[in-house]
Structure 1
Amino acid sequence: MEQPLPSLVEYGSRRVIITITAVVCALLEIIDTTIVNVALPDMRGSLGATLNEVSWVITAYSLANVIIVPMTSWLSQQFGRRNYFAVSVIIFTVCSFLCGNATNIWELVFFRFVQGLGGGALLVTSQTIITESWPTEKRATAQAIYTLGVIVGPTLGPPLGGYIIDNYAWPYIFYINIPVGIVAALLTLQYVRSPQYEKKRSVSEVDWLGIFLLTVGIGSLQFVLEKGQEEDWFSSSLIVVLSVVAVFGLFFFIWRQWVYEHPIVELRVLRNGNLRIGVLLSFIMGFGLFGSTFVIPLYTQSLLGWTAQQSGMLQLPSTIFVAVMMPVVAILIQKGVPQKYLIAVGMTVFFIFSLLSYKIIGPDTSAGDFFWVLIIRGFGLGLLSVPVSTMSLSTLKGKEIGQGAAFSGMMRQLGGAFGVALISTFVTRQTDYHRATLVEHLDVNNPDVVNRIAQTAAGMRAQGLDVGAAQQKAYALVDAGVMKQATILSYMDVFLWVGVLFLICVPFVLIFVKSSKSKVNMADAAH
């Protein structure tokens, strides 16, 4: 008779230490995806880089993340989870030091890429470690703790980065990772255990072709999403070529994983219905979370003139409210409230947040206008995040947990990448559309238009400009006003359509998401 494998469930102080270590590591990884954004101008000046070159500091990290995340479960089996997690922490920490000491832009980009390889592993492996350290009946609590880090990270990045840039220098956005990383690596080696079901493959059994196809396919897709708008999408031959490479690379990768005996990404785990639906919902949630986290600072900084630190601080009350919601939602799940109802309500609340954002956006919107709207966003994300994560992994066992976490993490990252890419493109296109519409109403023969330009020109002449210069300045100010209104309308459209997307998903959640309560109870009994 086959002996059951030793349980990885921890109790007492060991579970507390392991959970805190894993959450902090996940938090470090996610903060580093957004903290760099506010430092780009300083990096550009310090390293003598162009705007296009310095943007690779962000792109390189994202590319590495998306490539490594699907392979984390396989790499954990190859090297042992404790060793792999510890090495990932060390790589992330060492590269943080090297990034801060970079002397030119491409040196920084290279170290950011390697840092992303270590960081991507932290995100998914942390979720697996936390899930297996808690008993099955308390997985909702475990996912609440993990998800808190995922939600808090993108919000903390901009204000933390803004504070460091204002008071120190850009290398310190990397140096702050070093002491935390050292402590996390030591605690990992001391407390984290590797499961015995993990089996190392020989070199001849490693799916090198699968690794190549995954790297090429997912790397090309991420590049297209990151640089598509900048290159004007399919008018660029580079984007066309990379899009074709991404499609064929991912197609042959999927085929390879189904037919190869020892795949690096176990696609068969997607036969689990809960995971399959959870992966799709993770994509949508990543789209909404990272999309709204991206668009609000963009709006407040570009149109309202706020600093990055002010924009980041705006979202802190919402993040705190999410933290309050997490244990409440976990208790509701443990008491038997069907997860699909929580998800449906969360999506409906997120639609309400989007609709209210659509209504309050304007040229004079204040932080006070945003406060309750963002609290509603936090309420919706709290109802969404924990049920989606819990449902995705609720009926998985053993090594399937790591495989499922890898899929969920990858789809959440891709959802965020798609969200940012589509929103940035949508804003640009809609701004042009609204500007053209507004200009049609600026008839030079309209008395109101003529009077407005005349009054503006008179004000310019009062400041000492001659008639011609004053007239030219007046037309420029009117054009700038039209552009600002067009941009505001485009941001309004973004919130409206993101909200509609979430509302459309509600009936599908109610129809297709099945209650996993009975399955979880069976798993509890087996456990």
Structure 2
Amino acid sequence: MATAKATLPPLQGAVLAIGAVSVSLATFMNVLDSSIANVAIPTIAGDLGVSANQGTWVITSFAVSNAIAIPLTGWLSQRFGQVRLFLASTLLFVFASFLCGTAQSIEMLIAFRVLQGAVAGPMIPMSQSLLLASFPRAKAGTAMAVWSVTTLVAPVVGPILGGWISDNYSWPWIFYINVPLGILAAYSTWTIYHKRETVTKKLPVDTIGLSLLVLWIAALQIMLDKGRELDWFNSAQIVALAAIAIVGLVFFLIWERNEKHPIVDLSLFRNRNFTGGVIALSLGYGAFFGNVVILPLWLQTQIAYTATLAGLTMAPVGLFAIMLSPFVGRNIHRVDARIVATCGFLIFALVLYMRSLFTSGVDNWTVMLPAYIQGFAMAMFFTPLSMLMFSGLKPEQIPAASGLSNFVRVLCGGFGSSIATTAWDNRSALHHSQLMENANPYNPIYTDNMDSLRQLGFSADQANAVFERTLSVEASTLGANDIFYFSSMMFLVLILAIWSTKPVHGKHAAVDAGGTH
């Protein structure tokens, strides 16, 4: 993309520092919002009178609309300019955040989250572009290190902040907090960058491709979220949604293959490195994000954790990630990126296997230990997989490849959370029915427990209620264990995708990857 920035000198001194902080602050706000709601879901669901599973729509609606908006970023930046697009995206995000805080029903909140995700689409790609243009070319790695730290800190701060706000104030403040942050980021960014706008030009937009994209993704997401509630394919609505998703996807693929200016450049998948890297990154991120949603839900709804405590137990994941990511970024070109990524996936598998052994009586240290270890995996996740994806691509292919890989990754994150919560519900119901089969007068363990409760002064109805609650907690714990175990095995299988690549080694490959992390 031809830009005016290519002829402008890098920023220097205090101006560079302020510009980097300003752009990073907006990125921080965006990433924060993808995690801050996770621990607040039970509170939001209870306040709006819906189940916790229905409350997860607050997360998936943001992720899916965000994914759909990402492929438009390239066209929008050329049509309106990178600086104007970044500022407009930031200010609209602030407005949508305010609307989310004012929502009086789950339907209103989901609608405003869809808006919030859509306007947030260009923020992260544009923040990368502005940062890279601000630093000298030789310090591109430093620019991406600054960007990476903000994207790693935000998921750590998000659960803690979301839990603390939910426990001490009210859930709308997890959205209102974006208002001052966003206004400050927009003002300081405009002050630094308004004279560094890029050249704009009119380009055709693939309206048919975009319409088909929205159609099949929306149909698939609604099917995943509403499936259990409507008894899956016993419902005509679910069958219709599945048909729309399949037909829409087929027509979308056919159209994009023949479109001169496609919204998604599918030809990139002819490159084995890009394909293998995207599969590993996107499916790995989907498994990771699904578990990030499940864990705080399980802790709060079954193990009686407060939102604050649930957030704190997830916080350690960022400790080693923040410490190690700059080291990995500086030295990744010295080793085979496949080895580093494989180590990351093995650690993810170990962490999830450890969680699959949780019991309903788990102590806080046992919950937190995997989170500390997971920080190592996070540091070995994005950087080596980015190197693998972009290795061997031509420089002019990098922007489209970056947009496509981010689109698939964010989309898989939204689908992953929906699939994980639905699977958890189904596995919990299965374990509940299996445990209930043993709750009969012929089982001495059952009769002894009921006798003990009655001796403590419980009536028959009270004893049954206590037993049912205990059974539900055990069933939900076993269901969560199943999700953790399956995700652990999934990371092991995805190592095959990593080794399907044949990266171009050396300094050139590292620079390409560093500029598109």
Residue matched to 2:93: 92
Are 2:277 and 2:501, in contact at CA under 8 Å, matched by a contact in 1? no
* Greater RCO (Cα-Cα under 8 Å, separation 6 or more): 2
Deviations 1:126-155 (A, max 9, x none): 334445655677655544443444444344
SS at structure 1 position matched to 2:456: helix
Report if aligned partners of 2:64, 2:414 keep a CA contact under 8 Å in 1.
Answer: no
Answer whether contact 1:353 1:376 (CA < 8 A) is retained: yes
Task: Say whether residues 1:435 and 2:432 are aligned partners.
Answer: yes
Cα distance in 2 between the residues matched to 1:476 and 1:42: 24
SS for the counterpart of 1:408 is: helix
Q: Determine the C-alpha separation between the residues in 1 that align with 2:447 and 2:297.
A: 33
2:285 alignment partner in structure 1: 286
Are the equivalent residues in 2 in contact too, given 1:257–1:266 (CA < 8 A)? yes
Deviates more, 1:86-95 or 1:274-283: 274-283
Structure 2 equivalent of residue 467 of structure 1: none
Q: Partner residue of 1:475?
A: 464
Q: CA deviation at 1:343?
A: 0.1
The structure-2 alpha-carbon separation of the partners of 1:444 and 1:49, relative to structure 1 and needing over 3 Å to count, comes to closer
CA deviation string 1:190-232 (max 9, x = no partner): 4444555x6421xxx3322122112212222232333334433
1:498-517 alignment runs, 5 A limit: 498-517=487-506
2:177 maps to 1:179: no
Letter in 1 for 2:117: G
TM-score, length of structure 2 as denominator length:
0.87
Distance (whole Å) between structure 2 residues aligned to residue 4 and residue 398 of structure 1: 18
Show the 5 A alignment for 1:87-486: 87-101=88-102, 108-131=109-132, 141-192=142-193, 193=196, 199-201=201-203, 205-334=204-333, 336-359=334-357, 361-393=358-390, 400-461=397-458, 470-486=459-475
**CA distances 1:495-522 after superposition (whole Å, capped 9, x unpaired):** 2111111112224423434244264279
Shift of 1:316: 1.5
TM-score, normalized by length of structure 1?
0.85
AA of the residue aligned to 2:465: A
Residues in 1 aligned to 2:295 and 2:419: alpha-carbon distance in whole angstroms: 15
Partner of 1:465: none
Offset from partner CA, 1:469-517 (integer Å, 9 cap, x none):
x233333333332332222222222221111111122244234342442
Question: Does the CA-based 8 Å contact 1:8-1:195 persist in structure 2?
Answer: no
1:353-398 residue CA offsets vs partner (Å, 9 max, x unmatched)? 1222223x11221221133321111111111122123443455566
Which deviates the most, 13-22 or 313-322? 13-22
CA distance in 1, matches of 2:488, 2:8: 41
- How far off its partner does 1:322 sit? 0.9
Cα offset for 1:311? Answer: 0.6
Q: Which among 480, 488, 495 is matched to residue 477 of structure 2? A: 488
Q: Which letter does structure 2 place at the counterpart of 1:218?
A: I
Identity across matched positions, percent: 30
Moved more, 136-145 or 178-187: 136-145
Q: 1:496 to 1:84 in 2, by over 3 A?
A: same
Query: Aligned to 1:6, what secondary structure does the other structure show?
Result: helix
Q: Return 450-459 or 227-236, whichever deviates more.
A: 227-236
Q: Deviations over 1:90-118 (max 9, x none)?
A: 11122233443456665554443322221
SS at match of 2:6: coil
Query: Root-mean-square deviation (CA), in Å?
Result: 3.3
Counterpart residue identity of residue 337, structure 1: V
499 and 170 in structure 1: CA distance in 2 versus 1, 3 angstrom threshold: closer
How many residues align structurally? 508
Shift of 1:4: 12
Q: 3-state DSSP class of the match of 2:261?
A: coil
| Counterpart position of 1:464 | none
Q: Over alpha carbons, which structure has the higher Rg?
A: 1
Matched to 1:385, the amino acid is F
Alpha-carbon contact 2:60-2:415 (below 8 Å) kept: no
The amino acid across from 2:316 in the alignment is P
Question: Against the structure 1 CA distance between its residues 161 and 145, is the aligned structure 2 distance closer, same or farther, given a 3 Å change threshold?
Answer: same
Report if the CA contact (8 A) 2:272-2:501 is conserved.
no
Counterpart CA distance in 2 for 1:308 and 1:65 is 26
Shift in Å, 1:443:
4.5
Are the aligned partners of 2:317 and 2:372 in contact in 1 as well (CA < 8 Å)? yes
Unmatched 5+ stretches in structure 2: none
C-alpha distance in 1, partners of 2:322/2:144? 12
